[in-house]
Chain A
Amino acid sequence: MGTLRESLGERLRRSPLVLPAAALLVLLLVNVVVTPGFLALRVVDGHLFGSVVDILKNGAPTALIALGMTLVVATRGIDLSVGATVAIAGSVACTWIAGASDPTDPGTALVGIVLALGLALVLGAWNGLLVAAFGIQPIIATLVLMTAGRGLAMLITDGQIITVANPLFAELGGGFLLGLPVAVVVAAVMFAAVALLTRRTALGLLIESVGVNPTASRLSGVRARGIVWGGYVFAALCAGVAGLMISSNVTAADANNAGLWIELDAILAVVIGGTLLTGGRYSIGGTLLGALILQTLTTTVYTAGIPPEVSLVFKAAVIIVVFLLQAEKVRALLHRRRPVGERVATP
């Protein structure tokens, strides 16, 4: 019973953020040792450059998707379809821009972006409908769109890779704002907005309550369905924005490969950040750390001269270590033994 006053050390040990933060630090240290100039930042034309900036920029789409995923996971859900949504969002925007009378016009880009995000919202609402209204298991409900969604993206692009040359559109993935890459700024703003919204309003409490016990929450007057639904819509919106970033970065839409397996990275980021897939307590900060760990890991593999083929093995190894450290049973073994048993049977 975590009643009462614990020492600072005790609380630190229990904090879910300590492990991921330590892991990130270790990774950064490894990089500094291997590449002495790793932390160096350069300013060129008022824009910030450097390995750390690259990590932030390349990690932004995954981090964003992980942000949406966190809220879905907190309500006991999971969204496998975000990768497909990434592909669809990019395909819609690029197909619209490429097909417009003036493909370089900023207005065209804006309309394309609005269309893509609008469609993403519809897809999120669809997932929410299946999960919240029909009561279908999240894994399978979103598997439907994961499977069909990439086909839809191919349908939109007619199976082609669609390249665009729109300056405004290219800004989203390649431009700079206030000296930072636009993608990083957008992701940071969205993280801050969600953190504020869940802390300053009761949304955080209601989401956690629905995640811990949906029935009890509903019977307490919480509009549990609405909250679950909102989670999927928001996750799809994040995926839509991420899809735009990704296609803008390469100024093309690749329905087949854009956002492929990004849902798995996002889920990993969420779990590494200390949010349990069984719902309930979640951590936005943890998710951010998780996403940064994954991206730093990828970068480390490259800078350390490890053959890129092996990077997946490293990723798997790190994931396994983090999970094992997080697993309650292992923690119990490391600290002090605890009674086996009394896992509450989930309905």
Chain B
Amino acid sequence: MPEPVVAMRGIEIGFPGVKALDGVDFRLLPGEVHALMGENGAGKSTLIKALTGVYGLDGGTVTVRGEPAVFSGPAAAQAAGIATVYQEVNLCPNLSVAENILLGREPRRPVWQGGRIDRRGVRRRAGELLARLRLDVDPDSALGEHPLAVQQLVAIARAVDLEADVLILDEPTSSLDATEVAELFRIVRGLRADGVAVLFVSHFIDQVYEIADRVTILRNGRLVGEHLVAELPRLDMVAKMVGHELAVLADLDREPAAEVAGDPTVTPVLAARGIGRGGAIEPADLDVRPGEVVGLAGLLGSGRTELVRLLFGADRPDAGSLQVRGRPVRLRGPHAAVAEGIAFCSEDRKGEGVVGDLTVRDNIVLALQARRGWARRIPRRTADELVARWISALDIRPADPDALLRNLSGGNQQKCLLARWLITEPRLLILDEPTRGIDVGAKAQIQQLVAELAGDGLGVVFVSAELEEVVRLSDRVAVLRDRRKVGELPRADASVGRVMELIASGGGHLA
């Protein structure tokens, strides 16, 4: 076995009240794609930040190419040949694509010519890199003008240009569609062939099996094991990640709400007619009946998020009408939707859901309090009872209503947001990618919860990028493509293959 290019031993990092990493070993060999797997809160991001010097170590050692290394930050790590591409695009939207690729290492004129940046050189070099990645992007255009997926690939172009022999990809695929993932993997394979060590973090098990050679699995800040991917069956990998046998996902075959699904005599909780918004979603119809789960399937940019935002009044529609329980309504904003008994969990949990500096209790009562109005405060005792009930019902950890929400893991934050809405006893629950970026255990719990809620007569709109999940949970699946609703499949006809056909029939994939 060749000498590891990166070796981390006994890494310890603590945050107030939490041991984020506890004696973790990790090694990365040249010319391999090494997957780092684990549930949310397992310590994957922390390990990467420990390697790149964003966090200081509380214990343990890092060696790079056999030499002990302590980096003062990403800049130092980069100088030592360790480049990182993050899940969130960390580029500057105000600068051009070319500048973003070359920022900080722009070609310069010789000193005797003033040493200034060679703008033509910048454009040429960036053009070459984009061409190598077969990205058809104008290097002079402002980065912010491009969709997120393109920005992500630009970030990879930037990393590729670094004279790096270690490339860290921190969940790079979460905003890419299938074609773009294939593009990315083609590039990654090329890099591996050149002897670059690629550290690949992903939640998508399929992708790990497609691209990775070895895998290191973490759980609760501890190392579970390091394996050759080819020798590790999928079920074993999942079991190692969650720590207990998990049959829940497979088991969830809920009884369909067949009696109401599509039954025109049952008044829908919400009926949308020709609702649309220019540039976001073409006018579409959608009915949701009590006890029914309506899935929205479509690729990134298909307009699924845009559609549900209109249903909640988060954005103003410029066409169409809405009926709530048979009564026409105009939603002048989220507060109006909340008053009508509609609840909405945004896909952007951190930006549009979590109120991080407030406690779990305050976060959970927020929507109910907003609906009651500022003058009618929920009495403290009532609030405590409600919060305690939902913390235990949803198994929120830590079960401490006074903990700040930002200190909870992603899955637990998501459960708090669900509690925030369930406490308002809504008639319609709109969930936009409620299971994205959270661990398998919490995912199963949330799916189970959705099934139960529908069983209790709640109407649910369920949006997810994972087609299997949508198909498994939904009574009906509405399919979107290119900002248009292209079809609706009843449960009997809905299969992943059928949905894919509908999505693919138009050809285009990304708006």
Contact = CB atoms under 8 A, between A and B. Distances in A.
Assign chain A's interface to a size class: 20 to 34
A2 B406 CA distance: 11
Nearest to A278: B357
B17 A213 contact: no
Interface string A334-347: 00011111101101
A221 B372 CA distance: 10
A341 B15 CA distance: 12
A14 to B, nearest CB: 11
B173 interface: no
A205 B362 contact: yes
Contacts, number: 124
A219 B346 contact: yes
Nearest to A336: B16
A1 B15 contact: yes
A330 to B, nearest CB: 17
B111 interface: no
Contacts of B88: 345
Secondary structure of the A contact surface, majority rule: loop
B367 A342 contact: no
B263 to A, nearest CB: 30
Contact of A202 (B344, B354, B376): B376
Interface in A177-236: 200-203, 205-206, 208-209, 212-213, 215-223
Given A1-B16, A340-B54, A342-B54, A215 B351 contact: yes
B370 A219 contact: no
A219 B54 contact: no
B337 A216 contact: no
B17 A1 contact: yes
Interface in A315-344: 337-342, 344
Contact of A221 (B346, B355, B367): B367
Nearest to B378: A202
A8 interface: no
A7 interface: no
Interface in A1-28: 1-4
Nearest to A217: B355
A280 interface: yes
A340 B55 CA distance: 6
B10 interface: no
A208 B358 contact: yes
B402 interface: yes
Given A217-B355, A341-B55, A3 B367 contact: no
B400 to A, nearest CB: 5
B71 to A, nearest CB: 12
B21 to A, nearest CB: 11
A3 B17 contact: yes
Given A1-B404, A4-B400, A218 B333 contact: yes
A63 B154 CA distance: 51
Q: Which 3 A-B pairs have the closest CB atoms?
A: A221-B338, A1-B17, A221-B370
Given A209-B355, A209-B362, A216-B352, 9 more contacts: A1-B16, A3-B402, A205-B358, A220-B334, A223-B335, A281-B357, A337-B56, A341-B55, A342-B54
23 contacts: A1-B398, A3-B17, A3-B400, A201-B377, A202-B374, A202-B376, A205-B369, A205-B377, A208-B358, A213-B356, A216-B353, A216-B355, A217-B355, A217-B370, A219-B334, A219-B353, A220-B370, A221-B335, A223-B335, A339-B55, A344-B356, A344-B406, A347-B351
Interface of A: 1-4, 200-203, 205-206, 208-209, 212-213, 215-223, 280-281, 337-342, 344-345, 347
